[in-house]
């Protein structure tokens, strides 16, 4: 099911939380939804679900959410790990949430087992850890087997095994032709999981492209060259219009060309090359570069900068 | 709508506090019924000596004990059940799950209101059974039922339903469970009596138009019954409209 987000806007007083945001979530893909803190990701998801009122529309296969029946077969959402009554058992919570789609008890048990909560199905979730809360939230989202999943930070509080399970689960879910939009601050995880990215900052769209296209925008995509005559090689490469930075006396970071061309230039100049490696920027590198100007809630730039007395008073 | 009713039914029946409140409501009702029977059994009977004295046969009008469910203490428990309908959802953030499941807000609003009214009516009927049983077990004689008794019981039931809807709507408007329960109680027990007493000279008509005072006028019967009922109903309907409009317009 295609999700078309069209010109969503939302203001809180004079603060424009989301501004004319348009993008598409396609079936068969996991779309990562990224942005710095306060960039409007959660607000956008709430607008997409009709929980908050703003302007613009979100169409699910060409129709508004309110025009679909049952709604939970169309979209399942997980916005917070604590959206449950602490005294209502996990099983009762799911039975209640499954009422709109007429979900059976068998399906409730199935989902509890799928997310690994079958052992605490009849326990009250007030004492659940954050990770268990995330699992219950995910169970709620997938209960009616919706064609679209909207997940806001679902990996928060999960241990590495659970994160890997979540990644595999969402990948499999998307491969079955479903649409998945997931926000996360775990960029390394997102890099492994998502194949498309929507990046926003200060409520505005700054990227809507494939993961590879987004990462290729980083200036940290370069080629490491080690040579015994790095100085001469640097001069040759610069003469060809490439960007060169010395990392060590023997190593150069080269931008503007791939390994083949750099190897050819070195060969033509008769310079011995000892190492020639393509270095790809991470999603984190690309994300930080692209959003560095758009952070509303940035910490100090030097985390090591502490008072001489270590801050003690 | 049927799915929303199932949702709401599962919501209200899947938390222990509902049953605790029901139990407290029935215990309070039984206790009040017993005390009322003990206090009043001498006040209504025929003294049997031909005099006009109040101490007599010891029988009690049925309506006097059977409206025990509408006493102040019992009302706290039953209105808490009504207030929890939206109160719990806002307190624990569940409202966002609920509304993503039922994006047509009037649907879930109506389902919640229906389920609350059904619960309150059922509890009121149960409270009458409890009150009757307590009085019987205590060995107090009960006067024959008259048409006035049934009207009195009907008015008491309507008052309890209206009072619960006030708590329901105040919780929805304030998005706060405690305020939803406390405001009607404070209005009835403190604010309205003080306002009426303090402004009796300047605004002698005021008590007639205050919500709980009007409700009690309706409950008590008498000449002003009709006006009290209309004013109480106007408050209930007015707050319901405000509650629904706010619920539809505000962010979840």
This model of the complex carries an ipTM of 0.84
CA dist A154 → A21, A138, B51, B251 (Å): 22, 7, 81, 22
Q: What is the pLDDT of residues A74-83, one digit of tens each?
A: 999 999 989 9
Q: What is the pLDDT of residue A293?
A: 66
Which residue is closest to B1 within chain A, CA to CA?
A100
Query: What integer pLDDT is reported at residue A273 of this predicted model?
Result: 94
pLDDT band for position B196 (50/70/90)? Answer: confident
Predicted local confidence at residue A306, as pLDDT: 54
| C-alpha closest to that of A236 among A218, A219, A257 | A257
Is pLDDT larger for residue B64 or for residue B198?
A: B198
Residue B221 is given by DSSP the state -
DSSP state of B232: H
**Terminal C-alpha separation, chain B:** 20
Residue with the bigger pLDDT between A101 and B136: it is A101
* Two structure tokens written together for A142: 């997938």
Residue B96 has its nearest CB partner, among A79, A93, A99, at: A79
Q: Residue range B134-161: average pLDDT?
A: 85
User: How many angstroms separate the CA of residue B85 from the nearest CA in chain A?
Assistant: 12
The predicted-structure confidence for A13-33, as pLDDT tens digits, reads as follows: 899 999 999 999 999 999 999
pLDDT classification of A215: cutoffs 50, 70, 90: confident
Among A46, A81, A84, A96, which would you mutate to test the B interface (most chain B Cβ atoms within 10 Å of its Cβ)? A96
Mean pLDDT of A284-310: 65
Q: How confident is the model at residue A200 (pLDDT cuts 50, 70, 90)?
A: very high
Residue of A nearest to B8 (CA): A96
Nearest to A96 among B11, B103, B104 (CB): B11
CA distance A95 to B8: 11
Confidence band of B223 (pLDDT split at 50, 70, 90) = confident
The answer, for B115 touching chain A at a CB cutoff of 8 Å, is no
> Edge-to-edge strand order for the sheet containing A179-183?
A75-78, A148-152, A179-183, A30-34, A196-201, A204-210
Query: According to the model, what pLDDT value does residue A312 have?
Result: 41
pLDDT of res. B53: 42
How confident is the model at residue B55, as a pLDDT? 43
SS3 of residue B1 by DSSP:
coil
Q: Average pLDDT of chain B?
A: 87
**pLDDT at residue A261 greater than cutoff 70:** yes
Collapsing DSSP to helix, strand or coil, B176 comes out as: coil
Owner of token pair 């469910």: B69
Pairing of strands A3-12, A15-25: antiparallel
pLDDT band at residue B64, thresholds of 50, 70 and 90? confident
Confidence at B57, pLDDT banded by 50, 70, 90: low
Task: Identify the pLDDT of residue A300.
Answer: 57
**Contact in structure between A83 and B97 (CB atoms under 8 Å):** yes
- In this prediction, residues B35-54 reach a mean pLDDT of 59
pLDDT at position A153: 92
Question: Minimum mean pLDDT among A123-137, A270-284, B87-101, B141-155: which range?
Answer: B141-155
CA distance B125 to B116: 14
CB contact under 8 A, A50 and B251: no
Over range B59-72, report the average pLDDT: 72
For residue A310, pLDDT over 50 is answered with: no
B95: closest CA of chain A, how far (Å): 8
Sketch the domain layout of chain B as residue ranges.
2-249
Compare CB distances from A51 to B7, B15, B251 and report the shortest one's residue.
Answer: B251
Question: How many CA atoms lie within 13 Å of A276's alpha carbon, on the beta-carbon side?
Answer: 15
Give the C-alpha separation, B180 to B168, whole Å: 7
Question: Ranked by mean pLDDT, which of A254-258, B53-57, B95-99, B137-141 comes out on top?
Answer: B95-99
Residue A221 in this model has a pLDDT that exceeds 80: yes
> Looking at the predicted structure, is the pLDDT value of residue A197 above 60?
yes
Q: Is pLDDT of A178 > 60? A: yes
Q: At B142, which helix (H) or strand (E)?
A: strand B141-142
Q: Is B99 exposed, middle or buried (0-12, 13-18, 19+ CB in 10 A)?
A: buried
Query: Is residue A84's pLDDT more than 90?
Result: yes
Per-residue pLDDT band at A184 (split at 50, 70, 90): confident
The percentage of chain B sitting over the pLDDT mark of 90, rounded to a whole number, equals: 52
| A229 φ/ψ angles, rounded to the nearest 5 degrees | -120, 60
Higher pLDDT, B199 or A101: A101
Identify the CA nearest to B52 among candidates B61, B43, B63, B39: B43
Residue B75 vs residue A297, higher pLDDT: B75
Q: What is the pLDDT, as a whole number, of residue B199? A: 82
Q: CA-CA distances (angstroms) from residue B114 to A60, A227, B85, B98?
A: 31, 80, 11, 17
For the segment A120-129, the average pLDDT, to the nearest whole number, is 92
Evaluate if residue A307 carries a pLDDT over 60: no
- Whether the full predicted model's pTM is greater than 0.90, yes or no, is no
Structure confidence at residue A313 (pLDDT): 38
Q: How confident is the model at residue A149 (pLDDT cuts 50, 70, 90)?
A: very high
B191: left (phi over 0), alpha (psi -120 to 50) or beta: alpha
User: pLDDT value at position A218?
Assistant: 81
Angle B27-B32-B35 from CA coordinates, rounded to 5°: 125
Residue to test with chain B: of A85, A87, A122, A136, most B Cβ within 10 A: A85
Residue A73: per-residue pLDDT: 95
B88 has a chain A CB within 8 A of its CB = yes
Q: What pLDDT sits at residue B43?
A: 59
Question: What's the burial of A21, exposed, middle or buried (CB within 10 Å: 0-12/13-18/19+)?
Answer: buried
Q: What is the pLDDT of residue A282?
A: 85
Would you state the pLDDT for residue B58?
60
Write out chain A residues lying below 8 Å of B11, CB-based. 96
């Amino acid at each position: 099911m295609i999700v078309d987000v069209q010109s969503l806007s939302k203001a809180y007083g004079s603060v424009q939380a989301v501004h004319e945001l348009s993008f598409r979530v396609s079936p068969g893909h996991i779309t990562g939804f990224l942005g710095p803190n306060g960039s409007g990701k959660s607000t956008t998801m709430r607008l997409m679900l009709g929980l908050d009122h703003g302007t613009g529309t979100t169409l699910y296969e060409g129709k508004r959410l309110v025009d679909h029946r049952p709604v939970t077969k169309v979209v399942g959402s997980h916005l917070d790990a604590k959206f449950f009554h602490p005294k209502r058992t996990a099983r009762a919570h799911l039975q209640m949430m499954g009422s709109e789609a007429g979900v059976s008890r068998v399906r409730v048990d199935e989902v509890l087992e799928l997310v690994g909560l079958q052992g605490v199905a009849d326990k009250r979730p007030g004492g659940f850890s954050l990770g268990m809360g995330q699992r219950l939230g995910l169970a709620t989202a997938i209960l009616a087997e919706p064609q679209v999943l909207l997940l806001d930070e679902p990996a928060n509080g999960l241990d590495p095994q659970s994160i890997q399970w979540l990644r595999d689960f969402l990948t499999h879910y998307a491969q079955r032709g479903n649409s998945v939009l997931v926000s996360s601050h775990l960029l390394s995880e997102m890099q492994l999981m998502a194949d498309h990215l929507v990046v926003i900052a200060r409520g505005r769209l700054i990227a809507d492209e494939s993961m590879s296209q987004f990462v290729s925008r980083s200036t940290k995509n370069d080629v490491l060259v080690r040579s015994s005559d790095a100085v001469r090689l640097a001069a040759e490469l610069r003469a060809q219009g490439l960007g060169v930075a010395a990392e060590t006396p023997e190593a150069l970071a080269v931008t503007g060309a791939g390994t083949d061309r750099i190897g050819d230039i070195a060969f033509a100049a008769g310079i011995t090359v000892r190492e020639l490696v393509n270095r790809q920027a991470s999603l984190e590198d690309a994300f930080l570069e692209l959003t560095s100007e758009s952070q509303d809630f940035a910490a100090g730039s030097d985390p090591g900068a502490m008072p001489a007395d270590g801050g003690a008073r | 709508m049927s799915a929303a009713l199932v949702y709401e039914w599962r919501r209200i029946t899947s938390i222990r506090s509902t049953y605790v409140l029901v139990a407290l409501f029935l215990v309070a009702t039984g206790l009040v019924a017993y005390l009322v029977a003990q206090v009043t059994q001498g006040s209504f009977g025929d003294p049997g000596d031909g005099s006009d004295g109040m101490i007599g046969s010891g029988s009690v009008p049925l309506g006097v004990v059977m409206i025990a469910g509408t006493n102040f203490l019992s009302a706290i428990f039953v209105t808490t059940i009504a207030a929890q309908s939206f109160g719990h959802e806002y307190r624990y953030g569940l409202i966002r799950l609920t509304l993503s499941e039922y994006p047509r807000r009037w649907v879930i609003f109506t389902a919640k209101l229906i389920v609350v009214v059904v619960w309150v009516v059922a509890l009121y009927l149960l409270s009458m059974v409890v009150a009757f049983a307590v009085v019987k077990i205590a060995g107090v004689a009960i006067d024959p039922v008259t048409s006035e008794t049934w009207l009195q019981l009907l008015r008491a039931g309507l008052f309890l339903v209206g009072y619960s809807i006030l708590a329901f709507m105040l919780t929805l408007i304030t998005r706060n469970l405690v305020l939803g329960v406390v405001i009607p109680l404070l209005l009835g027990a403190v604010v309205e009596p003080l306002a009426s007493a303090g402004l009796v000279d300047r605004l002698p008509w005021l008590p007639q138009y205050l919500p709980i005072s009007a409700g009690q006028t309706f409950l008590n019967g008498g000449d002003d019954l009709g006006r009290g009922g209309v004013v109480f109903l106007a408050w209930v309907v007015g707050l319901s409209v405000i509650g629904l409009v706010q619920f539809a317009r505000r962010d979840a």
